[in-house]
Every structure is written in structure tokens, then in C-alpha cells.
Amino acid sequence: MGGKSSIIQTYKLFFNTDLLLCLGEFDLPDNDQQSLIESLLDVYRNDPDAGLHAASEWLLRKWDQSDALAGIDKELQSTEAQLRAAGAISVSKLTMQTGPLS
């Protein structure tokens, strides 16, 4: 029991937007950053909370993980395109008219 994976699991329980934004304000040692990066990438890829998604992206970019984020973005775009092609999801377009209502 214990070890790196249990530390990561513990961190995952406590991730929230404020914590991630605070972490970005500290100079953490590389080994501490590395122990969090995989979990943050998982949060970025899978968490439905938009604020947590954005905060994890900001922190990962601050920790020089832009290439990993680009890979996830590409993966997600590919998955979305496949779902659209299969008819599993649809996109609606809303057009707004400016000016006074008639």
C-alpha cells in the first residue's frame, strides 16, 4: 500500500479550481509537479466541470505541458468528429439578431 499512485489518488479527491490556481503561484519542486501532472491531465481530459478543466489547463501550461494538452485536444476533437459522423451527437446553431425587436 502507499506509494505514488495512492498520493495521486489522494490529490484527485481534493482537486478544485481554487487549489489548482493556488498551486500555480508556488515554485514546486519538479518531482512534486511530476507526481501531479498525470492526474491533472486526466482532469483536463475527463472532468465535466468547466472551471476545473480551465484551471487544470492553466496550471499544466504553467508547468510546460502544452504539448501534452495539444495531444489531448487533438484526441478529443477526433472523438467528437467520429461521434458526429456516426450521428451520436448533433450540433445546433443559434443565430442572434442585433438591434430592436420588431
Q: Which residue has the higher pLDDT, 80 or 76?
A: 76
Q: Which ranges constitute the DSSP H helices of the chain? A: 3-14, 17-23, 30-46, 50-62, 66-85
pLDDT, average across residues 69-97? 72
Say whether pLDDT at 92 is over 90: no
pLDDT tens-digit series, residues 22-60 = 888 988 888 889 888 988 999 888 888 888 889 999 999
Whole-number Cα distances in Å, 46 to 95, 100, 101, 102: 30, 42, 41, 44
